C-alpha cells in the first residue's frame, strides 16, 4: 500500500478544505468591511480572543455545510483494503488518499469527522435553543410575578437539578425508553414552547396593529404546526421534516436537563431588570405583563443569555460526545464525534488516529465556543 509523507498529508488536507477556506475568507472580508454596522458581533471580532472563537466556530460550521464537497469519501463508505490504514494511505483503485487514516471498519477518518460535524452542529445548537426557550418562558413569569408562581416553578426546577445528570440522561436515552411513548410525549411538550413563545411575542407586540398581527400569527401557526407534526409525530405531509427516534431522545434529554439552568438565570435577570425605571414606565403606560416580559425585560437581559448560550452549546457538544462514547443516543454507525471516539478507543494502543482525530475536532469546536463566550462576556461588562 502506498503512502504520502507528512507534508503531503498536511498539504492534501489544506487543499481538500479549500471551500471552507474560501468561505472563511468571504466571512472575514464582509465582517471587517461592515464591522461598525454589525453591533455586538462587530465588537467581538475586534478582540483577538473573539476573532479566534468566531474563526473556530465558523470553520466547523462551513465544514458541516460543505461536507459533500470537502470529504473525499462518504461517512459509511468502506474499502476493505484500507482497514486501520495509517494516515496518508493511498487507495489503489481510485487513487484517493485516507489523509487521516482508516478505522476498524475501513472507513475514512477524515471524511467521517467532517460529516460528524453536521450531526453535532445540528443537534447541539437546536437542543440548546429549545432549552433556552423553555427556560425563558418559565423564568420570566417566575421572576416578574414572584410569590406562588415563583415558588412552584422554582421547586420544579430545583427538583430536576437535584437529579444526577448522568443518570438522568442514561434513563432518557437508553434503547428501552425509545420504544415507549415517553420521548414522544416529552417532545410534544417541549416543542410546544417555541410555538407558544412566537405566538405570545407577536400577539403582545403587534396587538395595536391587528392586520400585521393576524398575518404573523397565521404564518406562525402554519409553519409551527408543520414542523411540530414532522418532529413529534414524524407525519410531515411534505416529507421534508423528520427526525430519528434516537435524535429525538437526545433533544428531549438536553431540553429537560438544561432548561432548569436557563430558568434560574432568566429568573435572576428578570428580578433585577424589573426594578429599572423603564419597566416602571411601561407599567405606567398600561402595558400587559407579558408585553413587558418579552419586549422590555428579555431584550435587556440578552447579554448574559448570549454568553450562557455559547457555553451551553459547548456543554451540549461534550455531552453528545459522552453519550456517543457510552453507546447511547446515536446509532452505532453514526459518524458523530462521540461514537467515533468510542469505536477508535477499542484499539487505542495499536491505532491512535481513529479516536484522536474526532477528539481533537470536538476539543477545537468547544474551545471556539468558550473563546467566543469570553469575548462576549468582556464586551457585556464594558457595555
**Long-range residue pairs from 327-334, CB within 8 A, at least 24 positions apart, any chain:** 328/169, 328/170, 328/173, 328/174, 329/173, 329/246, 329/247, 329/249, 329/250, 329/253, 330/119, 330/246, 330/247, 330/250, 331/244, 331/246, 333/76, 334/116, 334/119
pLDDT tens figures, 198-228: 999 999 988 888 888 899 999 999 988 888 8
Percent of all residues in the chain with a pLDDT value above 90, rounded to a whole number: 33
Give me the pLDDT at residue 9, please.
86
pLDDT beyond 90 at 240: no
Contact 98, 110 (CB under 8 A): yes
Q: How far is residue 127's CA from residue 251's CA, in Å, rounded to a whole number? A: 5
Cell numbers 455586538 correspond to 40
Give me the pLDDT at residue 234, please.
76
Reduced to 3 states (helix: H, G, I; strand: E, B; else coil), residue 108 is strand
Q: How far is residue 352's CA from residue 339's CA, in Å, rounded to a whole number? A: 15
Question: DSSP string spanning 121-171?
Answer: HHHHHHHHHHHHHHHHHHHHHHHHH-HHHHHHHHHHHHHHHTS-HHHHHHH
pLDDT tens figures, 269-278: 999 998 899 8
**Cα-trace Rg, the chain:** 23
Give me the pLDDT at residue 184, please.
77
> pTM (2 decimals)?
0.89
Cell numbers 492534501 correspond to 12
Tell me the longest C-alpha to C-alpha distance in the chain: 79
Per-residue pLDDT band for 368 (boundaries 50, 70, 90) equals very high
Give me the pLDDT at residue 127, please.
87
pLDDT tens figures, 96-154: 888 888 888 888 899 999 999 998 898 888 889 999 999 999 999 999 998 899 999 99
Least confident of 47-61, 160-174, 300-314: 160-174
Mean pLDDT of 13-41: 91
pLDDT beyond 80 at 245: no
Amino acid at each position: 500500500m502506498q503512502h504520502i509523507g507528512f507534508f503531503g498529508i498536511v498539504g492534501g488536507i489544506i487543499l481538500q478544505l479549500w471551500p471552507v477556506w474560501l468561505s472563511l475568507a468571504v466571512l472575514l472580508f464582509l465582517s471587517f468591511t461592515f464591522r461598525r454596522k454589525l453591533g455586538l458581533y462587530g465588537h467581538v471580532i475586534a478582540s483577538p480572543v473573539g476573532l479566534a472563537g468566531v474563526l473556530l466556530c465558523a470553520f466547523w460550521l462551513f465544514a458541516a455545510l460543505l461536507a459533500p464537497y470537502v470529504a473525499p469519501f462518504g461517512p459509511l463508505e468502506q474499502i476493505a483494503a484500507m482497514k486501520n490504514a495509517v494516515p496518508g494511505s493511498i487507495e489503489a483503485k481510485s487513487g484517493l488518499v485516507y489523509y487521516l487514516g482508516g478505522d476498524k471498519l475501513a472507513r475514512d477518518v477524515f471524511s467521517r469527522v467532517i460529516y460528524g460535524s453536521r450531526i453535532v452542529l445540528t443537534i447541539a445548537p437546536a437542543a440548546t435553543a429549545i432549552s433556552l426557550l423553555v427556560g425563558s418562558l418559565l423564568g420570566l413569569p417566575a421572576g416578574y410575578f414572584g410569590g406562588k408562581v415563583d415558588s412552584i416553578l422554582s421547586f420544579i426546577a430545583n427538583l430536576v437539578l437535584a437529579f444526577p445528570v448522568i443518570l438522568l440522561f442514561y434513563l432518557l436515552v437508553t434503547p428501552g425508553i425509545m420504544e415507549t411513548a415517553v420521548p414522544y410525549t416529552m417532545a410534544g411538550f417541549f416543542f410546544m414552547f417555541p410555538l407558544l413563545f412566537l405566538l405570545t411575542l407577536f400577539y403582545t407586540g403587534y396587538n395595536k396593529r391587528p392586520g400585521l398581527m393576524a398575518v404573523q400569527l397565521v404564518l406562525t401557526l402554519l409553519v409551527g404546526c408543520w414542523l411540530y407534526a414532522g418532529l413529534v409525530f414524524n407525519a410531515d405531509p411534505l416529507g421534508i421534516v423528520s427526525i430519528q427516534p434516537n435524535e429525538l431522545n437526545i433533544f428531549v434529554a438536553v431540553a429537560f436537563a438544561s432548561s432548569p439552568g436557563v430558568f434560574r438565570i432568566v429568573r435572576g435577570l428578570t428580578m433585577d431588570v424589573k426594578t429599572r425605571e423603564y419597566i416602571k414606565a411601561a407599567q405606567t403606560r398600561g402595558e400587559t405583563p407579558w408585553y413587558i416580559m418579552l419586549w422590555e425585560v428579555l431584550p435587556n437581559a440578552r447579554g448574559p443569555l448570549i454568553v450562557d448560550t455559547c457555553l451551553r452549546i459547548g456543554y451540549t457538544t461534550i455531552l453528545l460526545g459522552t453519550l456517543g462514547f457510552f453507546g447511547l443516543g446515536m446509532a452505532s454507525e453514526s459518524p458523530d464525534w462521540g461514537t467515533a471516539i468510542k469505536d477508535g478507543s477499542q484499539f487505542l494502543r495499536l491505532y491512535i488516529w481513529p479516536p484522536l482525530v474526532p477528539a481533537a475536532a470536538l476539543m477545537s469546536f468547544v474551545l471556539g465556543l468558550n473563546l467566543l463566550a469570553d469575548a462576549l462576556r468582556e464586551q457585556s461588562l464594558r457595555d
